[in-house]
A and B are shown apart, each in its own frame.
Chain A
């Protein structure tokens, strides 16, 4: 098979769509006005900005006044969590509930609240599919619980959390619920009303919008404190001249993703399932995350007796971009906390490989991965002393 370039790291970031790019381009040097300006070019920017806010709100069942733009998904996560902490620490308490598989943007923010401000964090465990137990959640909520923050879908293993049920429990108990929906928005249906979500984070670059722009949905009535002090932008809560072009690109990308969602979900998950079926045929390999209740584009695996980073580098030499949660590829010395949380051993977790496709992927891309990846595993295993042990029945 001829060498080709296959981008399979769409959970890392995506290519900006033509629609988003075309929508953005006029806002760099033609319609460049500051949205705070009272003259016509300023007013034009303001109108476009507010239109974008309206569109984005519409895609998740929110109203425009509940959408606040940020500079990233991480910023939205930080703002939601730090904001609630600041708002309720004195009034209600210092207890926050989360899951063991959150993104570092949530995880490290909570750790910081714990260390610096004496918050108590309850981290709900997950089962081998990466799901929390709703019973555990109910039991964990206390009088001083100020926030539950649980992601909508996991970035490493693709498992989709029972957001609606989590929301219902939080609503019943009168606790605020934030969900990091960075991997979910634009890919699976999200409705903040139906799901009882109080705050929700998203990032444009995960659904073919530009990098460096995100949003936080904050339910009307929640008086989240300001994140950046300064001018009056974002109702004075996040000062700084808006990333107008980025925001417009975000809205255009999301609108397109939502308009095509049914079709994309069907086509992308069919390709994902070909990857899963094909690659789990490799001996001593397994899928990570829930088999069916997972993001349409996420196919994630562990291959025993090989190490993820060397897989990624070898795949890259063959033109395939993938990622891994192994220690060596994360730049730390432990494999990802997500892989540990679903109960994998260190040794197994080192062999993780994540392929994330989207609507730009083609059947030929999948054919190519199915052709190349098994050979890559075989090549690395042939030089792995662990594989020799495995074949000799030593473990």
Chain B
């Protein structure tokens, strides 16, 4: 049911771990739903120079975390904010319908980290990033 790409990113996830000098950290999801993503970004001069993640979740949750962190590396913050769940899904050659929420979570994870980045600078992230976090991605299907 998973594409080869998903299995590859699940079996050999890219960017797993923590980033000690991250200046943008976001956590989304909830243990009740069975998936939590923690995203660490290092942003320098408005560019994401490094990205890592830790994820509790199913195969798709781990693969989308891996892919999302790959996709934002080297991007400007503005570009990273535009990362859509669709882009993550496409880069993985698709996801089974019941797993689409994992790609939404990955998108939200990146946004949540960037929101943290703004907060750390005393900037209100809401107008820039929008609603993230408790959008109950999974339990309300």
Contact = CB atoms under 8 A, between A and B. Distances in A.
Contacts of A333: 33, 98, 138-139, 141
A307 B61 contact: yes
B59 A310 contact: yes
Contact of A347 (B31, B55, B99): B31
B10 interface: yes
Interface stretch (B34-42, B75-83, B119-127): B34-42
Most chain A CB within a 10 A radius of its CB, from B38, B58, B99, B139: B58
Contact of A306 (B10, B17, B56): B56
Interface residues of A, number: 27
A350 B34 contact: yes
A328 B57 contact: yes
A386 interface: yes
Given A306-B56, A307-B58, A326-B58, A385 B38 contact: yes
Interface string A345-383: 111001000000000000000000000000000000001
A52 B27 CA distance: 60
A305 B141 CA distance: 23
Contacts of A384: 36, 54-56
A346 B60 CA distance: 19
A313 interface: yes
Q: What interface size band does chain B fall in?
A: 20 to 34
B11 A305 contact: no
A329 B7 CA distance: 15
Nearest to A312: B59
Nearest to B35: A307
Q: Is the interface of B mostly helix, strand, loop or mixed?
A: mixed
B54 A346 contact: no
B61 A385 contact: no
A385 B36 contact: yes
A350 B58 CA distance: 9
B88 interface: no
Given A307-B57, A310-B62, A314-B11, 10 more contacts: A305-B56, A307-B34, A307-B61, A328-B57, A328-B59, A331-B98, A333-B138, A383-B13, A385-B37, A385-B55
Contacts of A180: none
B32 A385 contact: no
Contact of A310 (B16, B32, B57): B57
Contacts of B58: 307-310, 326, 328-329
Contacts of A305: 56
Interface of A: 305-310, 313-314, 317, 326-329, 331-333, 335, 345-347, 350, 383-388
Contacts of B62: 310, 383
A387 B37 CA distance: 12
B31 A313 contact: no
9 contacts: A306-B56, A309-B59, A310-B58, A326-B34, A328-B58, A328-B60, A346-B31, A350-B31, A383-B55
B17 A383 contact: yes
B130 to A, nearest CB: 23
Interface in B65-118: 98-99
A340 to B, nearest CB: 12
Most chain A CB within a 10 A radius of its CB, from B31, B54, B59, B138: B31
Given A310-B58, A329-B58, A386-B56, A335 B34 contact: yes
Contacts of A327: 33-34
A346 B61 CA distance: 17
A332 B34 CA distance: 12
